[in-house]
Structure 1
Amino acid sequence: MKKVLLIEDDLVLQNLINEYLQEYNYSCSAFSNPMDALELFQKNPDDFTIVILDLGLPNMDGFDLFKKLKKIKNIPIIISTARDDIGNKIYGYELGTDDYLSKPYEPRELVLRIEATLKRYNKADSLKIHDLSIDINSSRVFLSGLEIEFTKIEKEIFLLFINNLNNIISREDIVKKTSLNEDTKNRTVDMHISNIRYKIDDNSKEPKYIKSIWGIGYKFFYDN
């Protein structure tokens, strides 16, 4: 059964969504406190299939929670909110939300959005790039059939590249979008990239995966 992590502080709406999802064979863990939801997700990220996230939450803004969840696992997230202004929508899509649903809405529409989002994810459950194979669902990476053992930070950076194929990623973005400390130096980022290159058998002088962009950062290129 597909399991939904629902983070919604309106308890009436939370109960309504919870009951409706169960009618469509979704298991739902519902929270009004974002810290409780984050704690559970940190312990068991692979238990969940998708997140439904309100933005107006107590103790933590929904966008901040969005970024924390994505750092833990690249899970599909649908924003469900009363913030229907274009600025919030643009920011949500810039962060990588899979859908943005403005309240009020019918629960049936939410189910349809969930189904459409999961269908897109299920179509791309694996990726092959030269000698690399990436299992999207488990975030496991293989080189010529052998699994690569990345450190936590290395895997976060590698998956950031995979989620932004052919896009330039600055060193600042790498620090912001991974669990690296905010004061991490550029040379430390470069060291992690060097380690990743070594593990995926990439040559910095003649790269087939990670290209250095002078003065900015890196680009993981994929010619399909």
Structure 2
Amino acid sequence: MNSQTILVVDDDPQIRDVLGVALERAGFRTVMARDGVEGLEAAKADPPALAVLDIGLPEMDGLELCKAIRRESNLPILFLTARDDEVDRILGLELGGDDYVTKPFSPRELVARVRAILKRAGPVVEATDGEPKTLRIGLLSLVPESHVCKVKETSVTLTSTELSILEKLMSRPTQVFSRPALVDAIWGPGMVVSDRTLDSHLRNLRSKLAEAGCSDAIETLHGVGLRMGPCRDT
């Protein structure tokens, strides 16, 4: 996989041009597609580091395209949407998108979000003995470098954003993270991320871990923040 390749799927040629210029100026290589079918073919032919998908695509809409991509890989996905009320569906269990930008959008903001997602999806530093770092709490284990998460022997598939949230909490299991501190740690300082976006990722992450047998993995201290739970048998 070329770590510098971004797939952009949008039926509006002006948006494709704007994104192409902005991403290439930022040092990325871009591959363009005009509809969902073309986008899926491009993703298979030249697997990108990240895909930017418009929801309202012809032939196969962005939601169906995301589902098709998710059947093949955990490719990070950034959605373009004209409606804020689609956030829960975009980021929730049904699709598992990594982030979204609402139209009309700033190309600079989109590039910043692409970089933030790629940073979360990238490899982490290995432990000093050369073995990948493994985090363990109760029944839960996480190997961030290889994106492997398990509850006992049950594998849990996470998006890059979900993995980053879990890694941050597991790396400091006794620390209580305020919501702003968690947003800064995951998306980067200065990035504007709504409470609804964070809540969608947390709800999705908790649901996946609970389904695997760990319903107490993330604790909420009302008015204070979030921290890791014990992750015991449930």
**TM category, shorter:** 0.5 to 0.7
Match of 1:5 among 7, 24, 34: 7
2:134 aligned partner: 128
- Cα distance, 1:78–1:161 mapped onto 2, change above 3 Å: closer
- Cα distance, 1:71–1:11 mapped onto 2, change above 3 Å: same
- Assess if the C-alpha contact under 8 Å between 2:156 and 2:212 holds in 1: no
1:16 aligned partner: 18
Root mean square deviation, CA, Å: 3.5
1:41 aligned partner: 43
TM-score normalized with structure 2 length: 0.56
Instruction: Write the distance in 1 (CA, Å) between the matches of 2:158 and 2:20.
Output: 35
1:91 aligned partner: 89
Larger radius of gyration: 1
Match of 2:213 among 189, 205, 219: 219
Residue by residue over 1:34-84, the C-alpha shift from the partner in whole angstroms, topping out at 9 and shown as x without a partner, is 112212322443xx11111100000112111111112211111110122x1
- Assess if the C-alpha contact under 8 Å between 2:33 and 2:42 holds in 1: no
Residue by residue over 1:162-214, the C-alpha shift from the partner in whole angstroms, topping out at 9 and shown as x without a partner, is 97888565xxxxxxxxxxxxxxxxxxxxxxxxxxxxxxxxxxxxxxxx9xx9x
- Cα distance, 1:158–1:42 mapped onto 2, change above 3 Å: farther
Instruction: Write the distance in 1 (CA, Å) between the matches of 2:4 and 2:60.
Output: 26
Instruction: Write the distance in 2 (CA, Å) between the matches of 1:49 and 1:33.
Output: 19
- Assess if the C-alpha contact under 8 Å between 1:7 and 1:31 holds in 2: yes
Gaps of 5+ in 1: 142-156, 170-209
Q: How much identity, in percent, do the aligned residues show?
A: 26
Gaps of 5+ in 2: 126-131, 167-204, 218-229
Instruction: Write the distance in 2 (CA, Å) between the matches of 1:89 and 1:114.
Output: 17
Instruction: Write the distance in 2 (CA, Å) between the matches of 1:133 and 1:85.
Output: 32
TM-score normalized with structure 1 length: 0.58
Residue by residue over 1:15-48, the C-alpha shift from the partner in whole angstroms, topping out at 9 and shown as x without a partner, is 1111111111100001012112212322443xx1
Instruction: Write the distance in 1 (CA, Å) between the matches of 2:31 and 2:38.
Output: 11
Residue by residue over 1:127-180, the C-alpha shift from the partner in whole angstroms, topping out at 9 and shown as x without a partner, is 6267x885756x689xxxxxxxxxxxxxxx9453797888565xxxxxxxxxxx
Letter in 1 for 2:213: K
* 1:108-119 correspondence runs (5 A): 108-119=108-119
The count of aligned residue pairs is 160
- Assess if the C-alpha contact under 8 Å between 1:167 and 1:219 holds in 2: no
* 1:142-181 correspondence runs (5 A): 158=155, 160=157
Instruction: Write the distance in 1 (CA, Å) between the matches of 2:120 and 2:14.
Output: 30
Match of 1:27 among 29, 32, 47: 29
